[in-house]
């Protein structure tokens, strides 16, 4: 390879010396600025200048700045945008496809498994009222019946337990289902992109979205963010839910119409919510979601963030994708698979 240029636009701060893999492959490395990952709108020109003539872009998720068509056009020989995380909603994928550029993600277990465990933590915190009990004891109170929790699973005495509905049934949701299985909880799921056999393997009942919303006591959202499912949970969907329902979102904020959710909480049409993602991030200081006390559990979009080099695995995965593309090979986990034939015409078999 002739020193291909790699822009690491959002470095994984736990990655350590992992980027030396690129250096051993004679790649020229350029690093993005921390400001690109903060709530600012004027980063595109800076990103374009830094990405100029890059052969690859890689990094973790950007929370405000996006990899736009202009950024891509600054690098005419760009082969690949390799995410070291699962989500690709910070990349204008359609524009990448139109330009014959691969977009890949990193579906490593430390990423999606961490989100699944974070989902479980939110569910248990809300139904067992963990925060309220801690606060009560600190206030000098003891065994207040108002702090009774909900029993999650089924029991031999005939109690059927709560119904958990999973919207989206990819890796994260399937792990949630695995974690819930020992609790003997009824689990239903909606995913229009999977056939029935994918649900049957895990003992989860496949249902349509209206049925899931009507029957679930806990609704957990796990779809990737696309144009089609933007605000897929809105006023109409909240009207179908039980007033006692709990909504969990460890996916992406724009999946939910936040205004409609606030209205549902205010009207008592939604009991509680656990939110790790929001329409605007960081959550604005004047967000009405801050006013609901223990009814709304707030988390700073880091359900997957864990110790133990959790980001390193995703970073290594993304690096392998980039190096494969530099060798003229199609890497694993191509998100926009429809671009592969055109990409092969441009780069297949040819080293960068």
Please determine whether the domains at 5-105+307-347 and 112-298 fall in the same fold group of CATH: yes
Catalytic, 307? Answer: no
pLDDT for residue 86: 86
Whether residue 217 is predicted with pLDDT greater than 90 in this model: the reply is yes
Kindly state the percentage of the chain with pLDDT values over 70.
96
pLDDT value of residue 109: 86
Element (H, E) at 165: strand 163-167
Three-state SS at 282: coil
**For the domain with range 5-105+307-347, which CATH number is right: 3.40.50.410, 3.40.50.10860, 3.40.50.300, 3.40.50.720?**
3.40.50.720
CA 49 from centroid of its chain's CA atoms: 29
H/E stretch holding 199:
helix 196-200
Output the six-digit token pair for 351.
Answer: 């080293």
Comparison of pLDDT for 227 and 15, the residue scoring more: 227
- Rounded to an integer, what is the distance from CA 131 to the centroid of its chain? 25
Tell me the C-alpha distance between 282 and 348, whole Å.
41
Which position among 186, 252, 311, 312 bears the catalytic label? 252
pLDDT at 12 > cutoff 80: no
Output the six-digit token pair for 270.
């939604």
Beta bridge partners of 221: 167, 249
Strands 102-104 and 56-59: unpaired
pLDDT of residue 15: 55
Would you state the pLDDT for residue 13? 62
The residue from 44, 281, 309, 329 that is catalytic is 281
Can you give the pLDDT at residue 55?
A: 98
pLDDT grade for 276, boundaries at 50, 70 and 90: very high
pLDDT of residue 14: 54
User: CATH homologous superfamily for 112-298?
Assistant: NAD(P)-binding Rossmann-like Domain (3.40.50.720)
Domain residue ranges in the chain: 5-105+307-347, 112-298
Chain Cα centroid distance, residue 253: 9
Query: Which of 60-74, 156-170, 210-224, 234-248 is the least confident region?
Result: 60-74
Beta strand 218-221 with 28-31 is unpaired
Cβ atoms of residues 315 and 8 within 8 Å:
no
Give the whole-number percent of the chain exceeding pLDDT 90.
78
Give the mean pLDDT of the chain.
93
Give the lowest-confidence range in 11-25, 80-94, 179-193, 204-218: 11-25
- 301 noted as active-site residue: yes
Q: What is the pLDDT of residue 75?
A: 97
- Res 38 pLDDT > 90: no
Which candidate, 257, 1, 250, places its Cα nearest to that of 126?
Answer: 250
For the stretch 134-166, pLDDT in tens is 999 999 999 999 999 999 999 999 999 999 999
Any bridge partners for residue 56, and if so which? Answer: 6, 80
Determine the Cα–Cα distance for residues 27 and 4; give it in Å rounded to an integer. Answer: 5
**Which pLDDT score is estimated for 122?**
98
40 pLDDT tier (thresholds 50, 70, 90) = low
Q: How far apart are CA 116 and CA 109, in angstroms?
A: 10
**301, 311, 312, 316: which is the annotated catalytic residue?**
301
| Residue range 255-273, pLDDT digits in tens | 999 999 999 999 999 999 9
CB-count burial class (<10 Å; 0-12, 13-18, 19+) for 133: middle
* Predicted TM-score (pTM) of this structure: 0.88
For residue 1, pLDDT over 60 is answered with: no
3-class SS at 133?
Answer: helix
Ranges 1-5, 6-10, 266-270, 347-351: which has the least confidence? 1-5
Strands in the chain per DSSP E: 5-10, 28-31, 56-59, 80-83, 102-104, 163-167, 186-190, 205-206, 218-221, 246-249, 272-275, 296-298
State yes or no: pLDDT of 77 exceeds 60: yes
Q: How confident is the model at residue 308 (pLDDT cuts 50, 70, 90)?
A: low
Please give the average per-residue pLDDT across 102-110, as a whole number.
91
Of residues 17 and 8, the one with the higher pLDDT is: 8
Count of Cβ atoms closer than 10 Å to residue 163 Cβ: 18
Q: Residue 94: which pLDDT band, with cuts at 50, 70 and 90?
A: very high
DSSP letter at 334? B
What confidence score (pLDDT) does residue 41 get?
Answer: 62
Give the pLDDT mean for 310-325: 91
Bridge partners, 220 (sequence order): 166, 248
Q: What are phi and psi of 159, to 5 degrees?
A: -65, 125
């Amino acid at each position: 390879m002739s020193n291909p240029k790699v822009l690491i636009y959002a470095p994984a701060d736990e990655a350590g010396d992992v980027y030396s893999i690129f250096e051993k492959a004679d790649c020229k490395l350029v690093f993005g600025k921390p400001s690109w990952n903060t709530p600012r709108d004027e980063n595109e020109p800076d990103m374009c200048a830094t990405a100029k003539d890059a052969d690859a872009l890689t990094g973790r998720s950007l929370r405000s700045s996006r990899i736009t068509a202009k950024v891509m056009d600054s690098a005419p020989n760009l082969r690949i945008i390799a995410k070291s995380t699962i989500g690709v909603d910070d990349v204008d994928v359609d524009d990448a496809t139109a330009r014959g550029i691969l977009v890949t993600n990193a579906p490593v277990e430390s990423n999606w498994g961490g989100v699944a465990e974070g989902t479980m933590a939110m569910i248990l915190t809300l139904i067992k009222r963990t925060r309220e009990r801690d606060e009560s004891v600190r206030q000098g109170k003891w065994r207040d019946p108002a702090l009774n929790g909900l029993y999650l699973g089924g029991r031999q005495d005939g109690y059927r337990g709560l119904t958990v509905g999973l919207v989206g049934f990819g890796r994260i949701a399937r792990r949630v289902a695995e974690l819930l299985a020992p609790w003997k909880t009824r689990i239903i799921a909606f995913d229009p992109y999977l056939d029935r056999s994918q649900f049957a393997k895990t003992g989860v009942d496949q249902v349509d979205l209206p049925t899931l919303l009507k029957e679930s006591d806990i609704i957990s959202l796990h779809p990737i963010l696309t144009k089609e499912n933007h605000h897929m949970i809105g006023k109409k969907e909240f009207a179908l839910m039980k007033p006692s329902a709990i909504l969990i979102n460890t996916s992406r904020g724009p999946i939910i119409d936040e205004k409609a959710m606030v209205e549902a909480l205010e009207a008592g049409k939604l009991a509680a919510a656990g939110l790790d993602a929001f329409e605007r991030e960081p959550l604005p200081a004047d967000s009405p979601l801050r006013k609901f006390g223990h009814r709304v559990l707030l988390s700073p979009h880091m359900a997957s963030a864990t110790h133990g080099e959790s980001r390193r695995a995703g970073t290594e995965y993304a690096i392998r994708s980039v190096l494969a593309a530099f060798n003229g090979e199609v890497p694993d986990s191509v998100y926009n698979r429809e671009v592969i034939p055109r990409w092969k015409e441009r780069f297949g078999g040819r080293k960068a």
